[in-house]
Structure 1
Amino acid sequence: MGDLFDYSDYGQLLGLVHNSLIAAALLGLVGGLVGVFVQLRDLQFAVHGISELSFAGAAAALLLGANVALGSVVGSLLAAALIGGLGVRARDRNSVIGVLMPFGLGLGVLFLALYEGRAANKFGLLTGQVVAVDTVRLNWLVGVSIVVLAGMALIWRPLLFVSADPEVAVARGLPAGLLSVGFTLLLGLAVSMAVQVVGALLVLSLLVTPAAAAFRVTASPVLAPVLSVVFAVVSAVGGILLALGGSIPISPFVTTISFVIYLVCRAVSARRVRGGWGHRLPAAAAPTPVPIP
Protein backbone atom coordinates (compact mmCIF):
# COMPACT_ATOMS: atom_id res chain seq x y z
CA MET A 1 0.00 0.00 0.00
CA GLY A 2 2.97 2.31 0.57
CA ASP A 3 3.69 2.25 -3.15
CA LEU A 4 0.12 3.31 -3.95
CA PHE A 5 -0.37 6.08 -1.39
CA ASP A 6 2.05 8.63 0.02
CA TYR A 7 0.52 11.63 1.79
CA SER A 8 3.70 12.81 3.47
CA ASP A 9 3.90 15.92 1.23
CA TYR A 10 0.16 16.43 0.97
CA GLY A 11 0.32 20.19 1.58
CA GLN A 12 2.76 20.75 -1.26
CA LEU A 13 0.85 18.44 -3.57
CA LEU A 14 -2.36 20.30 -2.82
CA GLY A 15 -0.91 23.43 -4.37
CA LEU A 16 -0.30 21.56 -7.63
CA VAL A 17 -3.98 20.73 -8.15
CA HIS A 18 -5.45 24.16 -7.53
CA ASN A 19 -6.78 24.34 -11.08
CA SER A 20 -8.10 20.80 -10.91
CA LEU A 21 -10.06 21.55 -7.73
CA ILE A 22 -11.67 24.59 -9.36
CA ALA A 23 -12.47 22.52 -12.46
CA ALA A 24 -13.96 19.76 -10.32
CA ALA A 25 -16.17 22.23 -8.44
CA LEU A 26 -17.38 23.72 -11.72
CA LEU A 27 -18.05 20.26 -13.11
CA GLY A 28 -19.99 19.34 -9.99
CA LEU A 29 -22.15 22.45 -10.33
CA VAL A 30 -22.81 21.95 -14.04
CA GLY A 31 -23.12 18.18 -13.84
CA GLY A 32 -25.48 18.31 -10.88
CA LEU A 33 -27.87 20.71 -12.63
CA VAL A 34 -27.74 19.02 -16.02
CA GLY A 35 -28.10 15.61 -14.38
CA VAL A 36 -31.53 16.58 -13.08
CA PHE A 37 -32.85 16.73 -16.63
CA VAL A 38 -30.87 13.66 -17.64
CA GLN A 39 -33.04 11.82 -15.10
CA LEU A 40 -36.25 13.62 -16.02
CA ARG A 41 -35.81 12.95 -19.74
CA ASP A 42 -34.31 9.45 -19.40
CA LEU A 43 -31.08 10.41 -21.20
CA GLN A 44 -28.61 8.31 -19.24
CA PHE A 45 -27.71 6.33 -22.35
CA ALA A 46 -27.20 9.58 -24.27
CA VAL A 47 -24.58 10.74 -21.76
CA HIS A 48 -22.48 7.68 -22.48
CA GLY A 49 -22.97 8.02 -26.23
CA ILE A 50 -21.91 11.67 -26.26
CA SER A 51 -18.85 10.87 -24.15
CA GLU A 52 -17.58 8.43 -26.79
CA LEU A 53 -17.50 11.09 -29.52
CA SER A 54 -16.12 13.60 -27.03
CA PHE A 55 -13.31 11.12 -26.41
CA ALA A 56 -12.77 10.75 -30.17
CA GLY A 57 -12.60 14.53 -30.60
CA ALA A 58 -10.13 14.91 -27.75
CA ALA A 59 -7.99 12.04 -29.08
CA ALA A 60 -7.97 13.60 -32.57
CA ALA A 61 -6.85 16.93 -31.11
CA LEU A 62 -4.13 15.17 -29.13
CA LEU A 63 -2.89 13.44 -32.28
CA LEU A 64 -2.88 16.68 -34.30
CA GLY A 65 -1.28 18.73 -31.52
CA ALA A 66 -4.38 20.91 -31.21
CA ASN A 67 -6.27 22.04 -28.11
CA VAL A 68 -7.59 18.88 -26.45
CA ALA A 69 -10.39 20.74 -24.67
CA LEU A 70 -11.59 22.20 -27.96
CA GLY A 71 -11.49 18.78 -29.60
CA SER A 72 -13.55 17.35 -26.77
CA VAL A 73 -16.13 20.14 -27.10
CA VAL A 74 -16.39 19.69 -30.87
CA GLY A 75 -16.88 15.94 -30.54
CA SER A 76 -19.52 16.37 -27.83
CA LEU A 77 -21.47 18.99 -29.76
CA LEU A 78 -21.41 16.85 -32.90
CA ALA A 79 -22.80 13.88 -31.00
CA ALA A 80 -25.37 16.04 -29.20
CA ALA A 81 -26.55 17.57 -32.48
CA LEU A 82 -26.99 14.15 -34.06
CA ILE A 83 -28.83 12.74 -31.05
CA GLY A 84 -31.01 15.81 -30.59
CA GLY A 85 -31.79 16.21 -34.27
CA LEU A 86 -32.33 12.58 -35.30
CA GLY A 87 -33.57 10.95 -32.12
CA VAL A 88 -37.03 12.45 -31.79
CA ARG A 89 -38.59 9.33 -30.31
CA ALA A 90 -36.96 7.31 -27.55
CA ARG A 91 -36.49 4.28 -29.78
CA ASP A 92 -34.90 6.37 -32.55
CA ARG A 93 -32.69 8.16 -30.05
CA ASN A 94 -31.38 4.95 -28.52
CA SER A 95 -30.70 3.52 -31.98
CA VAL A 96 -28.70 6.60 -32.96
CA ILE A 97 -26.74 6.43 -29.70
CA GLY A 98 -26.10 2.72 -30.18
CA VAL A 99 -24.59 3.48 -33.58
CA LEU A 100 -22.53 6.45 -32.37
CA MET A 101 -20.98 4.75 -29.34
CA PRO A 102 -18.84 2.09 -31.07
CA PHE A 103 -18.01 4.49 -33.91
CA GLY A 104 -16.74 7.17 -31.52
CA LEU A 105 -14.87 4.70 -29.34
CA GLY A 106 -13.28 3.10 -32.40
CA LEU A 107 -12.13 6.46 -33.76
CA GLY A 108 -10.73 7.43 -30.37
CA VAL A 109 -8.77 4.20 -30.05
CA LEU A 110 -7.42 4.66 -33.59
CA PHE A 111 -6.23 8.21 -32.87
CA LEU A 112 -4.59 7.15 -29.60
CA ALA A 113 -2.86 4.25 -31.36
CA LEU A 114 -1.38 6.70 -33.88
CA TYR A 115 -0.32 9.14 -31.16
CA GLU A 116 3.37 8.75 -30.27
CA GLY A 117 3.50 11.08 -27.28
CA ARG A 118 3.31 10.37 -23.55
CA ALA A 119 1.25 7.34 -22.55
CA ALA A 120 -0.16 9.33 -19.61
CA ASN A 121 -1.90 11.67 -22.06
CA LYS A 122 -3.64 8.71 -23.69
CA PHE A 123 -4.68 7.17 -20.38
CA GLY A 124 -5.88 10.50 -19.04
CA LEU A 125 -8.51 10.85 -21.76
CA LEU A 126 -10.11 7.63 -20.57
CA THR A 127 -9.74 7.82 -16.80
CA GLY A 128 -8.82 11.43 -15.98
CA GLN A 129 -5.70 12.91 -14.41
CA VAL A 130 -5.25 14.70 -11.09
CA VAL A 131 -2.91 17.44 -12.38
CA ALA A 132 -4.07 17.53 -16.00
CA VAL A 133 -5.95 20.85 -15.77
CA ASP A 134 -3.53 23.62 -16.68
CA THR A 135 -4.45 27.31 -16.86
CA VAL A 136 -5.41 27.16 -20.53
CA ARG A 137 -7.70 24.19 -20.03
CA LEU A 138 -9.19 25.75 -16.91
CA ASN A 139 -10.07 28.84 -18.91
CA TRP A 140 -11.85 26.60 -21.41
CA LEU A 141 -13.76 24.88 -18.63
CA VAL A 142 -14.78 28.21 -17.09
CA GLY A 143 -16.02 29.43 -20.46
CA VAL A 144 -17.98 26.25 -21.13
CA SER A 145 -19.44 26.37 -17.61
CA ILE A 146 -20.69 29.91 -18.14
CA VAL A 147 -22.35 28.94 -21.42
CA VAL A 148 -24.04 25.87 -19.90
CA LEU A 149 -25.21 27.66 -16.76
CA ALA A 150 -26.56 30.61 -18.78
CA GLY A 151 -28.35 28.22 -21.13
CA MET A 152 -29.85 26.22 -18.27
CA ALA A 153 -31.05 29.40 -16.57
CA LEU A 154 -32.72 30.47 -19.80
CA ILE A 155 -34.62 27.25 -20.49
CA TRP A 156 -35.01 25.80 -16.97
CA ARG A 157 -38.71 26.50 -16.37
CA PRO A 158 -40.06 25.63 -19.82
CA LEU A 159 -37.78 22.57 -20.04
CA LEU A 160 -39.02 21.41 -16.64
CA PHE A 161 -42.62 21.72 -17.82
CA VAL A 162 -41.91 19.93 -21.12
CA SER A 163 -40.03 17.15 -19.34
CA ALA A 164 -42.83 16.57 -16.80
CA ASP A 165 -45.85 16.81 -19.12
CA PRO A 166 -44.85 17.17 -22.80
CA GLU A 167 -48.38 16.90 -24.22
CA VAL A 168 -49.78 19.70 -22.07
CA ALA A 169 -46.65 21.79 -22.66
CA VAL A 170 -47.01 21.49 -26.43
CA ALA A 171 -50.72 22.31 -26.18
CA ARG A 172 -49.76 25.52 -24.39
CA GLY A 173 -47.41 26.49 -27.18
CA LEU A 174 -44.01 25.55 -25.75
CA PRO A 175 -41.46 24.54 -28.45
CA ALA A 176 -40.75 21.04 -27.14
CA GLY A 177 -38.53 20.04 -30.06
CA LEU A 178 -36.41 23.16 -29.89
CA LEU A 179 -36.04 22.84 -26.13
CA SER A 180 -34.99 19.21 -26.53
CA VAL A 181 -32.29 20.04 -29.06
CA GLY A 182 -31.11 22.99 -26.97
CA PHE A 183 -30.78 20.90 -23.84
CA THR A 184 -29.00 18.11 -25.70
CA LEU A 185 -26.40 20.62 -26.90
CA LEU A 186 -25.93 21.88 -23.33
CA LEU A 187 -25.61 18.25 -22.24
CA GLY A 188 -22.89 17.80 -24.84
CA LEU A 189 -20.94 20.72 -23.40
CA ALA A 190 -21.31 19.31 -19.89
CA VAL A 191 -20.05 15.91 -21.06
CA SER A 192 -17.01 17.54 -22.67
CA MET A 193 -16.22 19.11 -19.29
CA ALA A 194 -16.50 15.76 -17.53
CA VAL A 195 -14.14 14.11 -20.01
CA GLN A 196 -11.49 16.70 -19.10
CA VAL A 197 -11.67 15.81 -15.38
CA VAL A 198 -12.73 12.18 -14.95
CA GLY A 199 -12.15 10.78 -18.44
CA ALA A 200 -14.55 9.51 -21.09
CA LEU A 201 -15.34 6.15 -19.53
CA LEU A 202 -16.77 7.35 -16.23
CA VAL A 203 -18.70 10.55 -16.94
CA LEU A 204 -21.87 8.87 -15.70
CA SER A 205 -20.56 9.14 -12.14
CA LEU A 206 -21.00 12.92 -12.24
CA LEU A 207 -23.80 13.45 -14.76
CA VAL A 208 -26.14 10.63 -13.72
CA THR A 209 -25.42 9.19 -10.27
CA PRO A 210 -25.70 12.41 -8.17
CA ALA A 211 -29.11 13.30 -9.63
CA ALA A 212 -30.29 9.70 -9.32
CA ALA A 213 -29.29 9.78 -5.66
CA ALA A 214 -31.08 13.09 -5.10
CA PHE A 215 -34.32 11.78 -6.59
CA ARG A 216 -34.13 8.86 -4.19
CA VAL A 217 -34.65 11.13 -1.21
CA THR A 218 -36.78 13.98 -2.55
CA ALA A 219 -39.35 14.74 -5.23
CA SER A 220 -39.04 18.51 -4.76
CA PRO A 221 -38.18 20.39 -7.99
CA VAL A 222 -36.19 22.81 -5.82
CA LEU A 223 -34.41 20.50 -3.38
CA ALA A 224 -33.52 17.81 -5.94
CA PRO A 225 -31.24 20.08 -8.03
CA VAL A 226 -29.59 21.41 -4.86
CA LEU A 227 -28.82 17.92 -3.56
CA SER A 228 -27.68 16.80 -7.00
CA VAL A 229 -25.16 19.66 -7.17
CA VAL A 230 -23.93 18.98 -3.62
CA PHE A 231 -23.47 15.26 -4.33
CA ALA A 232 -21.64 15.96 -7.62
CA VAL A 233 -19.30 18.56 -6.08
CA VAL A 234 -18.49 16.28 -3.12
CA SER A 235 -17.75 13.41 -5.51
CA ALA A 236 -15.54 15.40 -7.88
CA VAL A 237 -13.61 17.48 -5.34
CA GLY A 238 -13.45 14.63 -2.83
CA GLY A 239 -12.10 12.31 -5.51
CA ILE A 240 -9.23 14.66 -6.27
CA LEU A 241 -8.41 15.19 -2.60
CA LEU A 242 -8.29 11.42 -1.99
CA ALA A 243 -6.35 10.66 -5.16
CA LEU A 244 -3.74 13.29 -4.38
CA GLY A 245 -0.52 11.63 -3.38
CA GLY A 246 -1.50 8.24 -4.79
CA SER A 247 -0.55 6.50 -8.01
CA ILE A 248 -4.15 5.51 -8.76
CA PRO A 249 -6.09 7.65 -11.27
CA ILE A 250 -8.75 10.00 -9.97
CA SER A 251 -11.68 8.13 -11.52
CA PRO A 252 -11.96 5.24 -9.02
CA PHE A 253 -12.17 7.72 -6.14
CA VAL A 254 -14.80 9.89 -7.84
CA THR A 255 -16.93 6.93 -8.82
CA THR A 256 -16.64 5.31 -5.40
CA ILE A 257 -17.73 8.47 -3.55
CA SER A 258 -20.59 8.96 -5.99
CA PHE A 259 -21.70 5.34 -5.62
CA VAL A 260 -21.53 5.43 -1.82
CA ILE A 261 -23.71 8.56 -1.80
CA TYR A 262 -26.22 6.78 -4.01
CA LEU A 263 -26.27 3.74 -1.71
CA VAL A 264 -26.83 5.96 1.33
CA CYS A 265 -29.71 7.71 -0.42
CA ARG A 266 -31.25 4.37 -1.35
CA ALA A 267 -30.98 3.25 2.26
CA VAL A 268 -32.59 6.47 3.48
CA SER A 269 -35.37 6.07 0.93
CA ALA A 270 -36.00 2.46 1.94
CA ARG A 271 -36.05 3.41 5.61
CA ARG A 272 -38.59 6.13 4.93
CA VAL A 273 -40.87 3.68 3.16
CA ARG A 274 -40.59 1.05 5.91
CA GLY A 275 -41.13 3.70 8.57
CA GLY A 276 -44.16 5.11 6.80
CA TRP A 277 -42.54 8.54 6.42
CA GLY A 278 -43.56 8.85 2.81
CA HIS A 279 -43.41 7.21 -0.55
CA ARG A 280 -40.09 6.67 -2.25
CA LEU A 281 -39.68 8.12 -5.70
CA PRO A 282 -38.98 5.28 -8.17
CA ALA A 283 -35.56 5.31 -9.81
CA ALA A 284 -36.88 6.23 -13.24
CA ALA A 285 -39.45 8.66 -11.98
CA ALA A 286 -39.11 12.41 -11.75
CA PRO A 287 -40.55 15.15 -9.61
CA THR A 288 -43.69 16.69 -11.00
CA PRO A 289 -43.38 20.47 -11.18
CA VAL A 290 -46.22 22.88 -10.86
CA PRO A 291 -47.46 23.60 -14.42
CA ILE A 292 -46.31 26.90 -15.80
CA PRO A 293 -49.18 29.19 -16.77
Structure 2
Amino acid sequence: MEFLQALAEHDFLQRALAGGLLASIGCGIVGSYVVVQRISLLAGAIAHAVLGGMGAAWYFGIDPLAGALVAAVFAALIIGWVKLRFAEREDTAISAIWALGMAIGILFIAKTPGYSVDLIGYLFGNLLMMSSSDLQLIAALDIVILVLTGLFFRQFLAVCFDPEFARVRGLKMERYYLLLLVLVALTVVMLIQVVGLILVIALMTLPAAIAGRFTVSLGAMMGLAILLGMAFTAGGLAISYAPDLPSGPVIIVLAGIAYLLAALLRRGRR
Protein backbone atom coordinates (compact mmCIF):
# COMPACT_ATOMS: atom_id res chain seq x y z
CA MET A 1 0.00 0.00 0.00
CA GLU A 2 2.87 2.35 0.75
CA PHE A 3 4.26 1.75 -2.73
CA LEU A 4 0.87 2.33 -4.38
CA GLN A 5 0.42 5.60 -2.52
CA ALA A 6 3.91 6.74 -3.48
CA LEU A 7 3.30 5.66 -7.08
CA ALA A 8 0.32 8.00 -7.30
CA GLU A 9 2.36 10.91 -5.93
CA HIS A 10 5.84 10.63 -7.41
CA ASP A 11 6.74 10.96 -11.08
CA PHE A 12 10.04 9.08 -10.71
CA LEU A 13 8.20 5.96 -9.54
CA GLN A 14 5.80 6.21 -12.45
CA ARG A 15 8.72 6.46 -14.87
CA ALA A 16 10.44 3.51 -13.19
CA LEU A 17 7.36 1.34 -13.49
CA ALA A 18 6.76 2.41 -17.10
CA GLY A 19 10.38 1.66 -17.96
CA GLY A 20 10.20 -1.80 -16.43
CA LEU A 21 6.98 -2.63 -18.25
CA LEU A 22 8.29 -1.36 -21.59
CA ALA A 23 11.56 -3.25 -21.22
CA SER A 24 9.62 -6.44 -20.52
CA ILE A 25 8.21 -6.36 -24.05
CA GLY A 26 11.54 -6.60 -25.83
CA CYS A 27 12.87 -8.84 -23.06
CA GLY A 28 10.09 -11.39 -23.52
CA ILE A 29 10.41 -11.49 -27.30
CA VAL A 30 14.19 -11.64 -27.64
CA GLY A 31 14.64 -13.67 -24.47
CA SER A 32 12.48 -16.41 -25.98
CA TYR A 33 14.82 -16.59 -28.96
CA VAL A 34 17.84 -16.70 -26.64
CA VAL A 35 16.38 -19.57 -24.61
CA VAL A 36 15.19 -21.58 -27.61
CA GLN A 37 18.41 -21.04 -29.54
CA ARG A 38 20.49 -21.68 -26.39
CA ILE A 39 22.71 -18.68 -27.00
CA SER A 40 22.71 -17.28 -23.47
CA LEU A 41 26.52 -17.52 -23.43
CA LEU A 42 26.70 -15.38 -26.58
CA ALA A 43 24.22 -12.96 -25.06
CA GLY A 44 26.36 -12.80 -21.93
CA ALA A 45 29.43 -11.92 -23.98
CA ILE A 46 27.50 -9.17 -25.77
CA ALA A 47 26.26 -7.81 -22.45
CA HIS A 48 29.70 -7.65 -20.85
CA ALA A 49 31.35 -6.22 -23.96
CA VAL A 50 28.97 -3.27 -23.55
CA LEU A 51 31.08 -2.03 -20.63
CA GLY A 52 33.84 -1.11 -23.07
CA GLY A 53 31.53 1.16 -25.05
CA MET A 54 30.07 2.70 -21.91
CA GLY A 55 33.50 3.41 -20.44
CA ALA A 56 34.72 5.00 -23.68
CA ALA A 57 31.57 7.11 -23.98
CA TRP A 58 31.92 8.29 -20.39
CA TYR A 59 35.59 9.19 -20.98
CA PHE A 60 34.76 11.29 -24.07
CA GLY A 61 31.75 12.96 -22.46
CA ILE A 62 29.10 11.09 -24.46
CA ASP A 63 25.92 9.46 -23.14
CA PRO A 64 27.00 6.01 -21.84
CA LEU A 65 23.89 4.39 -23.35
CA ALA A 66 24.96 5.57 -26.81
CA GLY A 67 28.33 3.91 -26.29
CA ALA A 68 26.56 0.81 -24.99
CA LEU A 69 24.40 0.61 -28.09
CA VAL A 70 27.36 0.87 -30.48
CA ALA A 71 29.46 -1.62 -28.49
CA ALA A 72 26.59 -4.11 -28.18
CA VAL A 73 25.82 -4.16 -31.90
CA PHE A 74 29.53 -4.35 -32.81
CA ALA A 75 30.13 -7.22 -30.36
CA ALA A 76 27.06 -9.07 -31.65
CA LEU A 77 28.24 -8.88 -35.25
CA ILE A 78 31.81 -9.91 -34.37
CA ILE A 79 30.68 -12.88 -32.24
CA GLY A 80 28.15 -13.97 -34.85
CA TRP A 81 30.70 -13.76 -37.66
CA VAL A 82 33.24 -15.80 -35.70
CA LYS A 83 30.61 -18.40 -34.83
CA LEU A 84 29.55 -18.76 -38.45
CA ARG A 85 33.03 -18.80 -39.95
CA PHE A 86 35.12 -20.46 -37.23
CA ALA A 87 32.71 -22.64 -35.27
CA GLU A 88 35.46 -24.76 -33.78
CA ARG A 89 36.83 -21.71 -31.92
CA GLU A 90 33.52 -20.23 -30.88
CA ASP A 91 34.04 -20.60 -27.12
CA THR A 92 37.43 -18.91 -27.31
CA ALA A 93 36.03 -15.98 -29.29
CA ILE A 94 33.16 -15.56 -26.84
CA SER A 95 35.54 -15.53 -23.88
CA ALA A 96 37.85 -13.08 -25.63
CA ILE A 97 35.05 -10.61 -26.46
CA TRP A 98 33.64 -10.98 -22.95
CA ALA A 99 36.96 -10.22 -21.24
CA LEU A 100 38.17 -7.64 -23.75
CA GLY A 101 35.03 -5.52 -23.50
CA MET A 102 35.14 -5.44 -19.71
CA ALA A 103 38.87 -4.73 -19.64
CA ILE A 104 38.54 -1.80 -22.06
CA GLY A 105 35.67 -0.41 -20.03
CA ILE A 106 37.60 -0.64 -16.76
CA LEU A 107 40.61 1.14 -18.33
CA PHE A 108 38.48 4.02 -19.60
CA ILE A 109 36.69 4.31 -16.26
CA ALA A 110 40.03 4.39 -14.44
CA LYS A 111 41.26 7.26 -16.64
CA THR A 112 38.05 9.29 -16.33
CA PRO A 113 38.43 12.10 -13.77
CA GLY A 114 36.15 11.92 -10.75
CA TYR A 115 34.01 9.15 -9.34
CA SER A 116 31.95 7.45 -12.04
CA VAL A 117 28.82 7.06 -9.97
CA ASP A 118 26.57 6.93 -13.04
CA LEU A 119 28.49 3.98 -14.45
CA ILE A 120 28.15 2.18 -11.13
CA GLY A 121 24.40 2.65 -11.53
CA TYR A 122 24.56 1.11 -15.00
CA LEU A 123 26.44 -1.89 -13.62
CA PHE A 124 23.86 -2.69 -10.95
CA GLY A 125 20.72 -1.06 -12.30
CA ASN A 126 19.13 2.23 -11.37
CA LEU A 127 15.47 1.88 -12.24
CA LEU A 128 14.38 4.72 -9.94
CA MET A 129 16.56 7.16 -11.90
CA MET A 130 14.72 6.48 -15.15
CA SER A 131 14.29 9.70 -17.12
CA SER A 132 11.86 10.65 -19.85
CA SER A 133 14.60 10.30 -22.46
CA ASP A 134 15.35 6.79 -21.16
CA LEU A 135 11.70 5.88 -21.59
CA GLN A 136 11.76 7.21 -25.14
CA LEU A 137 14.86 5.14 -25.91
CA ILE A 138 13.32 1.95 -24.49
CA ALA A 139 10.09 2.57 -26.40
CA ALA A 140 12.04 3.15 -29.63
CA LEU A 141 14.02 -0.07 -29.13
CA ASP A 142 10.75 -1.92 -28.44
CA ILE A 143 9.33 -0.66 -31.71
CA VAL A 144 12.45 -1.78 -33.62
CA ILE A 145 12.27 -5.24 -32.01
CA LEU A 146 8.54 -5.60 -32.69
CA VAL A 147 8.88 -4.50 -36.32
CA LEU A 148 11.84 -6.77 -37.07
CA THR A 149 10.22 -9.71 -35.29
CA GLY A 150 7.00 -9.19 -37.20
CA LEU A 151 8.79 -8.94 -40.54
CA PHE A 152 11.11 -11.91 -40.05
CA PHE A 153 9.25 -14.14 -37.59
CA ARG A 154 9.27 -17.18 -39.88
CA GLN A 155 12.93 -16.69 -40.74
CA PHE A 156 13.89 -16.42 -37.07
CA LEU A 157 11.79 -19.51 -36.42
CA ALA A 158 13.82 -21.36 -39.03
CA VAL A 159 17.08 -20.13 -37.50
CA CYS A 160 16.04 -21.51 -34.12
CA PHE A 161 14.56 -24.87 -35.13
CA ASP A 162 15.66 -25.99 -38.60
CA PRO A 163 18.41 -23.86 -40.14
CA GLU A 164 19.70 -26.59 -42.44
CA PHE A 165 16.31 -27.13 -44.10
CA ALA A 166 15.86 -23.37 -44.48
CA ARG A 167 19.31 -23.11 -46.03
CA VAL A 168 18.40 -25.82 -48.54
CA ARG A 169 15.30 -23.83 -49.40
CA GLY A 170 17.53 -20.87 -50.29
CA LEU A 171 17.20 -18.66 -47.21
CA LYS A 172 20.31 -16.75 -46.15
CA MET A 173 20.44 -18.09 -42.61
CA GLU A 174 23.66 -16.27 -41.78
CA ARG A 175 22.00 -12.89 -42.32
CA TYR A 176 19.03 -13.72 -40.11
CA TYR A 177 21.26 -15.18 -37.43
CA LEU A 178 23.31 -11.97 -37.31
CA LEU A 179 20.10 -9.93 -37.27
CA LEU A 180 18.88 -12.00 -34.33
CA LEU A 181 22.10 -11.26 -32.45
CA VAL A 182 21.59 -7.55 -33.17
CA LEU A 183 18.15 -7.84 -31.54
CA VAL A 184 19.86 -9.41 -28.53
CA ALA A 185 22.25 -6.44 -28.45
CA LEU A 186 19.35 -3.96 -28.49
CA THR A 187 17.62 -5.82 -25.67
CA VAL A 188 20.80 -5.80 -23.58
CA VAL A 189 21.01 -2.01 -23.87
CA MET A 190 17.34 -1.74 -22.96
CA LEU A 191 17.64 -3.90 -19.84
CA ILE A 192 20.76 -2.15 -18.54
CA GLN A 193 18.53 0.61 -17.20
CA VAL A 194 16.28 -1.90 -15.41
CA VAL A 195 18.58 -4.39 -13.68
CA GLY A 196 22.07 -3.29 -14.68
CA LEU A 197 24.77 -4.79 -16.80
CA ILE A 198 25.64 -7.61 -14.40
CA LEU A 199 22.10 -9.00 -14.08
CA VAL A 200 20.87 -8.36 -17.61
CA ILE A 201 21.15 -11.97 -18.80
CA ALA A 202 19.11 -13.25 -15.86
CA LEU A 203 16.14 -11.02 -16.71
CA MET A 204 16.47 -11.84 -20.39
CA THR A 205 16.37 -15.61 -19.86
CA LEU A 206 14.38 -16.37 -16.70
CA PRO A 207 10.91 -15.18 -17.83
CA ALA A 208 11.35 -16.94 -21.18
CA ALA A 209 12.63 -20.11 -19.50
CA ILE A 210 9.56 -20.20 -17.24
CA ALA A 211 7.23 -19.50 -20.16
CA GLY A 212 8.82 -22.29 -22.18
CA ARG A 213 7.76 -24.82 -19.55
CA PHE A 214 4.08 -24.05 -19.98
CA THR A 215 3.69 -23.27 -23.70
CA VAL A 216 3.99 -25.26 -26.91
CA SER A 217 4.56 -22.50 -29.49
CA LEU A 218 7.11 -19.74 -29.79
CA GLY A 219 4.45 -17.04 -30.07
CA ALA A 220 2.74 -18.17 -26.86
CA MET A 221 6.11 -18.39 -25.16
CA MET A 222 6.85 -14.78 -26.07
CA GLY A 223 3.47 -13.57 -24.83
CA LEU A 224 3.78 -15.33 -21.48
CA ALA A 225 7.40 -14.21 -21.11
CA ILE A 226 6.32 -10.58 -21.61
CA LEU A 227 3.64 -10.90 -18.91
CA LEU A 228 6.06 -12.59 -16.52
CA GLY A 229 8.69 -9.92 -17.13
CA MET A 230 6.12 -7.22 -16.35
CA ALA A 231 5.08 -9.03 -13.18
CA PHE A 232 8.69 -9.43 -12.02
CA THR A 233 9.68 -5.82 -12.69
CA ALA A 234 6.54 -4.37 -11.11
CA GLY A 235 6.70 -6.78 -8.17
CA GLY A 236 10.40 -6.22 -7.60
CA LEU A 237 9.95 -2.45 -7.71
CA ALA A 238 7.10 -2.64 -5.19
CA ILE A 239 8.92 -5.02 -2.83
CA SER A 240 12.15 -3.01 -2.87
CA TYR A 241 10.52 0.37 -2.25
CA ALA A 242 9.66 0.26 1.47
CA PRO A 243 12.93 -1.32 2.75
CA ASP A 244 14.92 0.87 0.31
CA LEU A 245 16.60 -2.05 -1.44
CA PRO A 246 18.16 -1.96 -4.94
CA SER A 247 15.33 -2.75 -7.32
CA GLY A 248 17.43 -4.68 -9.87
CA PRO A 249 18.58 -7.49 -7.56
CA VAL A 250 15.10 -7.77 -6.03
CA ILE A 251 13.62 -8.23 -9.51
CA ILE A 252 16.11 -11.01 -10.25
CA VAL A 253 15.51 -12.73 -6.89
CA LEU A 254 11.77 -12.68 -7.61
CA ALA A 255 12.33 -14.12 -11.09
CA GLY A 256 14.73 -16.76 -9.73
CA ILE A 257 12.24 -17.91 -7.09
CA ALA A 258 9.52 -18.12 -9.73
CA TYR A 259 11.81 -20.20 -11.96
CA LEU A 260 12.54 -22.67 -9.16
CA LEU A 261 8.84 -22.94 -8.31
CA ALA A 262 7.99 -23.50 -11.97
CA ALA A 263 10.60 -26.26 -12.21
CA LEU A 264 9.25 -27.96 -9.09
CA LEU A 265 5.67 -27.63 -10.32
CA ARG A 266 6.56 -29.12 -13.69
CA ARG A 267 8.37 -32.02 -12.04
CA GLY A 268 5.43 -32.63 -9.71
CA ARG A 269 2.98 -32.70 -12.63
CA ARG A 270 5.18 -35.22 -14.41
Query: Could you tell me which amino acid in structure 1 is paired with residue 143 of structure 2?
Result: I
Match 1:27 to one of 2, 20, 23: 23
Q: Which has the higher helix share?
A: 2
Q: Secondary structure at the match of 1:217?
A: coil
TM-score after normalising by structure 2: 0.91
User: Within 2, Cα distance between the matches of 1:245 and 1:115?
Assistant: 35
Match 1:150 to one of 147, 152, 164: 147
Q: Cα deviations across residues 208-247 of structure 1 (Å, max 9, x unaligned)?
A: 1111111122333332112111112222232222223444
Unpaired stretches in structure 1, ≥5 consecutive residues = 1-5, 274-293
The CA RMSD over aligned residues, in Å, is 2.2
Question: Retained in 1: the 8 A contact 2:50–2:102?
Answer: no
Q: Secondary structure at the match of 2:170?
A: coil
1:72 matched residue in structure 2: 68
1:260 matched residue in structure 2: 257
Q: Cα deviations across residues 72-96 of structure 1 (Å, max 9, x unaligned)?
A: 1111111111112221165443322
1:120 CA drift (Å): 3.3
User: Within 2, Cα distance between the matches of 1:13 and 1:68?
Assistant: 30
TM-score after normalising by structure 1: 0.84
Q: Cα deviations across residues 150-196 of structure 1 (Å, max 9, x unaligned)?
A: 11111111211231111211112222111101111111111111112
User: Within 2, Cα distance between the matches of 1:19 and 1:8?
Assistant: 14
Match 2:12 to one of 1, 11, 16: 16
1:228 matched residue in structure 2: 225
In the TM superposition, structure 1's runs of 4+ consecutive aligned residues that sit over 6 Å from their partners are 6-9
User: Within 2, Cα distance between the matches of 1:224 and 1:135?
Assistant: 30
User: Within 2, Cα distance between the matches of 1:201 and 1:132?
Assistant: 18
Query: Could you tell me which amino acid in structure 1 is paired with residue 149 of structure 2?
Result: M
2:109 matched residue in structure 1: 112
Question: Retained in 2: the 8 A contact 1:55–1:105?
Answer: yes
Between stretches 151-160 and 84-93, larger displacement belongs to 84-93
Between stretches 70-79 and 135-144, larger displacement belongs to 135-144
Query: Could you tell me which amino acid in structure 2 is paired with residue 56 of structure 1?
Result: G
Match 1:204 to one of 201, 206, 211: 201
Q: Cα deviations across residues 243-287 of structure 1 (Å, max 9, x unaligned)?
A: 2344432221111111112112112211221xxxxxxxxxxxxxx
Percent of residue pairs bearing the same amino acid type: 26
Unpaired stretches in structure 2, ≥5 consecutive residues = none
Pair 1:61 & 2:57 matched: yes
User: Within 2, Cα distance between the matches of 1:223 and 1:144?
Assistant: 21
1:276 matched residue in structure 2: none
Question: Retained in 1: the 8 A contact 2:49–2:99?
Answer: no
* Count of residues paired in the alignment: 268
Q: Cα deviations across residues 86-114 of structure 1 (Å, max 9, x unaligned)?
A: 21165443322111111111122222223
Question: Retained in 2: the 8 A contact 1:34–1:187?
Answer: yes
Between stretches 87-96 and 156-165, larger displacement belongs to 87-96
Q: Cα deviations across residues 104-129 of structure 1 (Å, max 9, x unaligned)?
A: 11122222223344553132111001
Query: Could you tell me which amino acid in structure 1 is paired with residue 46 of structure 2?
Result: I
